Each structure stands twice: as structure tokens, then as C-alpha cells.
């Protein structure tokens, strides 16, 4: 059984270009600038990135409400879909599962 390879090829954008594209396109759709990109990985059809966005600014900023969005992009770096997967306070620290 042959396995499918990711849809990346010579001339297609690399991870850095995809990071920028994901952040820019999501900002355009949400009307808010991204705070950071926490992950990017190739998929069979393109790329998947997780982008962090400030959804509600508060003072101090450690209490600001953040949104974590999973963004799917095609092999050329065009946004196909996005979904908010998490909301949290900026100062919240992830704890390992027990």
C-alpha cells in the first residue's frame, strides 16, 4: 500500500511563508492582528497552523483573553478554513495531564 506524500513541491511556499500567510489571512477575516503562531505543520493537502489572537485586551495584559485558532491552508498557502479551538487568559500556564 502506497502512502500519500504531503502536497509540497519545488516552488511551493515553505513553512516561513505559510506562517506569514496564515497570520495575515486570519487577521483579515477576524479584524484583529495575530499575536503569535504557535505551530505549523505540513499535511497531505497543504499546511495546518495554530495562530494565537488577542480577543479582548485587558489591563494588566496578562488578563487579556486569547483565542487559539487552527488554520488549514492549501499547498500554495491560501486559507481554506479556520476554527477557534480554545479561549484562555494570556497569563494562564498549560498544565500537564495527569
Give the closest residue to 37 by CA, choosing from 61, 73, 1.
Answer: 73
pTM reported for the whole predicted model: 0.79
Alpha-carbon distance of 76 to 13, in angstroms, equals 6
Task: Say if residues 72 and 44 touch (Cβ distance below 8 Å).
Answer: no
The span from the CA of 49 to the CA of 92, in Å, is: 21
pLDDT by residue (tens digit) across 36-84? 989 989 999 999 999 999 999 999 988 999 999 999 999 888 999 999 9
Amino acid at each position: 500500500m502506497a502512502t500519500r506524500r504531503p502536497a509540497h513541491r519545488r516552488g511551493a511556499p515553505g513553512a516561513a511563508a505559510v506562517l506569514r500567510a496564515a497570520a495575515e489571512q486570519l487577521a483579515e477575516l477576524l479584524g484583529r492582528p495575530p499575536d503569535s503562531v504557535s505551530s505549523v505543520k505540513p499535511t497531505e493537502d497543504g499546511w495546518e497552523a495554530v495562530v494565537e489572537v488577542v480577543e479582548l485586551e485587558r489591563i494588566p495584559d496578562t488578563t487579556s483573553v486569547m483565542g487559539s485558532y487552527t488554520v488549514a491552508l492549501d499547498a500554495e498557502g491560501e486559507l481554506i478554513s479556520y476554527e477557534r479551538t480554545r479561549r484562555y487568559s494570556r497569563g494562564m500556564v498549560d498544565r500537564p495531564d495527569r
